[in-house]
Amino acid sequence: MLKRQFLTTSLAALAMASASFSVQAQTPIKFQLDWRFEGPSAFFLVPAAKGYFKAEGLDVTVDSGKGSGAAVTRVASGTYDIGFADLAAVMEFHANNPTAENKPVAVMMVYNNTPAAVLALKKSGIKTPADLNGKKLGAPVFDAGRKAFPIFEAANNIKGVQWTAMDPPLRETMLARGDVDAITGFGFTSLLNLEARGVKADDIVIMPYPDHGVKLYGNAIIASPKLIKENPGAIKAFLRAFAKGARDVMSNPEAAIAVVKQRDGIINTDLEVRRIKLAIDAVVASPDARKEGFGKVVPARLALMASQVSDAYKTKSRIDPKAVWDSSFLPSDAELDVLPKK
């Protein structure tokens, strides 16, 4: 009897110790999105919901964001360990804060092409970049497309553009009302926002930057210098789990948006399914991504982007492409083979 009781007690203690060890083994990671919970956030919510992060020993919390600039700042401050932000915003932070000790580093490319685009209504007569000469454009001052517009402008010999600033919720409204001739924004977001304001898709002209001579990279996963130094294994584990989740998202966008719906119940499911599909086709599984490889960058293209952003953003110092990118944490080629077949 005493032997049986001792055995039961010992097994219970062992189970508790095992459970305690399991909890302790989970490394907490705070992750910052670039924007609110919409279609593209599925790339991070799916691996969290499916337990891919936990299987890698990570306890990941995913929070909505307020723009790439804010995501970069929050990772730089140490408030967040890993984030998702426009690579140009990372470059700008590095160049404008040359003496800062905590400069985030991009560790995996997700949007191989910038989603930035110029959008106009057909009734305005704007059909090509040349038609933007002397026109009134609108966008928030921190909009990635607006900040990179000098690159688009130079590539297409555009002159005399006048800018009107507004808060993000008013951008598409002002275009629909005719207050501005065109806007800059993420193509897959502004298109759907215009439709939500009663504009038919056939009445919208979209000029994606990548289709008009601007080969900037878009959003990347960024990591804090503290995490890079103290726990590089956690970054590698995060990227492995992310790649696995990205494959699931691209193979079944509808199921992925159902996961986003669990996080934010007020989203329009049909709208977000369209948004994620547009994002996948335009910037994640784009021809450039298929050529260069998911998650990777080409050094020459990265260097050109660094030079262009330095000029367009008028940064305090020139951008060093080697300082903003570190490929050493990337999963194997086999694990990065996640893009859907054509």
> Strand 58-63 and strand 136-138: pairing?
unpaired
- The ranges assigned to domains in the chain are 27-113+217-329, 116-212
Distance of CA 57 to CAs 20, 63, 313, Å? 14, 19, 39
Q: 27-113+217-329 architecture in CATH?
A: 3-Layer(aba) Sandwich (3.40)
CB 102 within 8 A of CB 215: no
- Pick the closest to residue 297 from 282, 213, 306 (CA basis): 306
Q: Would you write out the chain's pLDDT as a tens digit for each of its 342 residues?
A: 544 554 455 455 545 544 444 444 799 999 999 999 999 999 999 999 999 999 999 999 999 999 999 999 999 999 999 999 999 999 999 999 999 989 999 999 999 999 999 999 999 999 999 999 999 999 999 999 999 999 999 999 999 999 999 999 999 999 999 999 999 999 999 999 999 999 999 999 999 999 999 999 999 999 999 999 999 999 999 999 999 999 999 999 999 999 999 999 999 999 999 999 999 999 999 999 999 999 999 999 999 999 999 999 999 999 999 999 999 999 999 999 999 987
CATH architecture classification, 116-212: 3-Layer(aba) Sandwich (3.40)
* DSSP per residue, 202-265: GGEEEEEGGGGT-----EEEEE-HHHHHH-HHHHHHHHHHHHHHHHHHHH-HHHHHHHHHHH-T
CATH topology of 27-113+217-329 equal to that of 116-212?
Answer: yes
Q: Which amino acid is at 69?
A: G
